[in-house]
Structure 1
């Protein structure tokens, strides 16, 4: 038990350091950031185990838990924030719609209509969609202004930003050697101009289907585990390059900014730390529970985010794990730009 405890403590310390180290230097070790919450739980169990026996071995896990207290809000929020609605509030929604089920991954024939209805019910002022496809024919004409960048041949897909406010400038960053991309729109709201980024970083690509992905977990062996680790490592290296492109691009922005999208990585990663920078993670500010955004039954994975400039006051945040019309869940926040 002591040997296992020491092993978990060492792995946890390594996971603490990894957000500060570029994945390209330690690609295999970077995988540990995905399971950091599991390490914290195991350390808590070891702490209780040694505490009940009144043994000093509890100190190691106790120290790890104290050092990791800053990570807790990234994994689980005990209470939500829901401030009263006011004039000037803005609702922002981010959702990876998985091509609106264009290739019938889900058996329901009503997926795209359910997504459209959900969007109308949430009625966001700014809507960021990843894996968007015009081929699905989803009517979002309620939005007068839109920024859409697509790629591909017969079936085109990409990123889209829909807005109730005028879009005065737009652009994209097509990531080299990847089907993923980043788009942005400068939005005029009253007298203010806001920059909205919609990102979709490199997928881990364990499997194109969630059910198949779960089969990897159910029937894992040495060959498959090595393959999965290799894919995750390669994806993390690509994500680092993509995140650095975003970080460089946003340096030139003089407007209050919002960054939405599918990061395909955890809140304990180098990529998360770099993109978030000094922005607020809206889940951390106002969310509740695990904040899971990916439909994976073995782990409450939070890989979709809305970050907001500190000039915005985050007033509420919601995620919708019961809305299973994609492999991701939608997230919605309500924010307000504070006067200078």
Structure 2
């Protein structure tokens, strides 16, 4: 009996210490005002914190102990963060309302151009080329678009501009709006584009591409963003069961550098949002979970379409680890109303799923 009491006390001590750590993580996620790389590490652990308290609560409930209330209370404390994680409103029961315009965001993963030209994977490029005919929207924002007139499957600017005649493009050769043979960001619009602004971040084709678009009598600044990826190959890590200390240091070093560089990028995106003379719609690939610095900062100025009208977990990245929501649409709720939002998980031709939002100008 004494041993059981000791185990329970020790288990509760771990629970309390974990609770203190959780409060720190909760504060960082809520405030999103710490750009230091260490804060990035802590915020990234929020899903583990959530899972940990569910584990502690269930464990105490099974032994009929009131100590379960500690983890239950901490879970309730973070209730407002749950909207970033899971939505219960099914899309098929919401009444379809009138909307002014629709926006599609899709990371194309280059169409796996290398696999196409070498013959190892012709399916990705061909499937994307065909499915883009069905992914209709008034405004289409694409990341990692590889454009080349050498192959029909990659002659995407000519293809997409037939339906959305106004477009802007940005890639590693600034000023080349035709984008021949290059990877970049693109915005295609059914409505006129009156201004373009861009910022390229080498060497991974990340950046910001903004277009001022006249929608009927209103003008909206649409910002297509791809923030820095950490460059960690999760599939390789899962396959390699013997990761040594040097590899671990390399992973941590990449994460540290990624958090630092992305914080600088986020600051610039925020400047563009605040300096915009028009209401902003920010879409793209944040390469970050909904609990990180970038998501938190953008959420201070804009609302998130998934949180407003999403369903389920809304995972947008379907390769390993397979449970990430890193693609987003943010909007200025003072001028723009989100009517509906969908994650198109039935389209598997990239490592990202397309996301689409429907909006009404107020």
Q: CA deviation at 1:299?
A: 4.7
Equivalent residue for 1:104, pick from 87, 100, 115: 115
Aligned to 2:166: 145
* 1:159 has 2:185 as partner: yes
Judging changes above 3 Å, is the alpha-carbon distance between structure 1 residues 227 and 5 closer, same or farther for their aligned structure 2 residues?
A: farther
Judging changes above 3 Å, is the alpha-carbon distance between structure 1 residues 79 and 194 closer, same or farther for their aligned structure 2 residues?
A: same
Superposition pairs for residues 70-81 of structure 1, below 5 Å? 70-81=80-91
CA offsets 1:179-224 (integer angstroms, 9 cap, x no match): 42101001111111111000011111002xx6325435x5545443
Aligned to 1:94: 105
Equivalent residue for 1:84, pick from 96, 101, 124: 96
Secondary structure in 2 aligned to 1:251? helix
Secondary structure in 2 aligned to 1:296? coil
Q: Which runs of 5+ in 1 are unaligned?
A: none
Matches of 2:54 and 2:290 in 1, distance apart? 20
Greater shift in the superposed pair: 159-168 or 129-138: 129-138
Q: CA deviation at 1:326?
A: 1.4
Q: CA deviation at 1:52?
A: 3.0
Superposition pairs for residues 186-201 of structure 1, below 5 Å? 186-201=212-227
* 1:116 has 2:142 as partner: no
- Scaled by the length of structure 1, the TM-score of the pair is 0.89
Matches of 2:47 and 2:244 in 1, distance apart? 23
Aligned to 1:183: 209
* 1:305 has 2:328 as partner: yes
Matches of 2:323 and 2:80 in 1, distance apart? 19
Judging changes above 3 Å, is the alpha-carbon distance between structure 1 residues 101 and 213 closer, same or farther for their aligned structure 2 residues?
A: farther
Equivalent residue for 1:61, pick from 68, 71, 91: 71
Superposition pairs for residues 262-277 of structure 1, below 5 Å? 262-277=285-300
- Scaled by the length of structure 2, the TM-score of the pair is 0.84
Superposition pairs for residues 12-27 of structure 1, below 5 Å? 12-19=22-29, 20=31, 24-25=35-36, 27=37
Aligned to 1:336: 360
Matches of 2:226 and 2:24 in 1, distance apart? 27
CA offsets 1:261-297 (integer angstroms, 9 cap, x no match): 0111111112111123231100011111111111234
Equivalent residue for 2:144, pick from 114, 131, 139: 131
Contact 2:106 2:141 in 1 (8 A): yes
Secondary structure in 2 aligned to 1:204? coil
Aligned to 2:59: 49
Aligned to 1:224: 247
CA offsets 1:100-123 (integer angstroms, 9 cap, x no match): 111128954232332233332231
Superposition pairs for residues 205-216 of structure 1, below 5 Å? 205-207=231-233, 211-215=235-239
Q: CA deviation at 1:178?
A: 6.2
Matches of 1:39 and 1:213 in 2, distance apart? 23
Aligned to 2:266: 243
Aligned to 1:316: 340
Aligned-residue CA RMSD (Å):
2.4
Q: CA deviation at 1:323?
A: 2.1
Structure label with greater radius of gyration: 2
Secondary structure in 2 aligned to 1:102? helix
Secondary structure in 2 aligned to 1:14? helix
Aligned residue pairs: how many? 333
Structure with a larger share of its residues in helix: 2
Greater shift in the superposed pair: 272-281 or 253-262: 272-281
Secondary structure in 2 aligned to 1:184? strand
